[in-house]
Amino acid sequence: MLRSMLFVPGDSERKLAKGALSSADALILDLEDSVSADRTAIARTMVRAFLDAPRAPAGPRLWVRINPLSSPAALPDLAALVGGAPDGIMLPKPDSASDIVLLDHYLTALEQREGLVPGHIRIIPVATETARSMFALGGYAGSSRRLAGLTWGAEDLSTALGASTNQDASGGYAFTYQLARSLCLAGARAAEVQPIDTLYVDFRDLDGLARDSRLSRQLGFAGRIAIHPDQVATVNAAYSPDDDEIAYARRVVEAFAAAPGTGVVGLDGRMVDMPHLKQAKRLLSLAAACAGAPE
Ligand code: COA
Ligand code: MG
């Protein structure tokens, strides 16, 4: 379960130390955009040392964002890090699912070299960062058994599209970025992996983050990116079902159990049918997973 994935710049000793204490479901140790190009090698060494250090069993899963496969830094990133047995690789700027297939092959070769169980390291692409990627979001199903989720980002996409802003007149995401977000959500569900929403930029505004994240979960996202440790508790809470939701889901399941062979029942004066039962069951299994987080 990945409700909160906290980005930690891979070349910052203080942030790595702070990240280790976080209750994020996962850290994303970053080698890409939060690290300047002249510090890539230092960041690789620091991230590898972080992966090699003893890990608390209940601590965050450790993911690494490598550089894009189109850049000369990607293979050296992987060669340096796979031996540290990260839980997953976040892949920036893929054009399509064929980049996932290529990364899967690289990982299999490197896992073999390092004596790791092949297939163990998962993959989440940042699936909306190039112009081409927008036409490929429906293609991730079946690309790799390593695929654990899809996430999206608006910053690199606006650069790729030649835009100077990704906002509309009201300050929300402009249509193109709402489209990217919706296609990421549908693409992840089509591939039967977790849709992970993008970051909330204003990291001091926790009320805004809570509101935005609750809405995001209601729309179907399973979690989101965090950029500051203070965001993690709010994000974890927003993507976990609350007591009222759990109680209602139990009542839906019980109403169907009490009426065997029925496809539709009335509950509190409202019609409840199969999609509601599926939602209720999904919510209860999410609640069970949250109780035992992180997975
Ligand atoms: N991970 C771990 N620790 C972090 C952190 C993060 N993402 N962001 C901040 N911290 C730490 C700081 O180091 C500081 O701890 P310290 O006093 O021991 O040094 C503490 O949390 C408070 O930080 P604060 O002063 O509130 O923030 P800041 O101004 O230092 O940093 C950012 C603000 C945005 C630069 C920082 O949060 C950050 O680097 N975020 C991640 C950015 C990133 O990875 N982007 C790429 C993906 S979009
Ligand atoms: Mg980026």
Q: What is the pLDDT of residue 56?
A: 87
Place 292 in a pLDDT band, splitting at 50, 70 and 90. confident
Ligand nearest to the CA of 199: 1
Q: Taking a C-beta distance cutoff of 8 angstroms, is the pair 137, 128 a contact?
A: yes
Q: What is the pLDDT of residue 294?
A: 55
Residue nearest to atom 13 of ligand 1 (CA): 15
Domains in the chain, please, with CATH?
4-238 (3.20.20.60), 243-291 (3.30.1580)
Report the predicted TM-score, pTM, of the whole model to 2 decimal places.
0.94
Tell me the CA–centroid distance for residue 202 and ligand 2, in Å: 17
Tell me the CA–centroid distance for residue 119 and ligand 2, in Å: 26
Does the pLDDT of residue 295 top 60, yes or no? no
Model confidence pLDDT, tens digit, residues 248-257: 999 999 999 9
Q: Which of 12, 13, 18, 152 to mutate for ligand 1's pocket (most ligand atoms within 8 Å of CB)?
A: 18
Ligand nearest to the CA of 28: 1
Does the pLDDT of residue 62 top 60, yes or no? yes
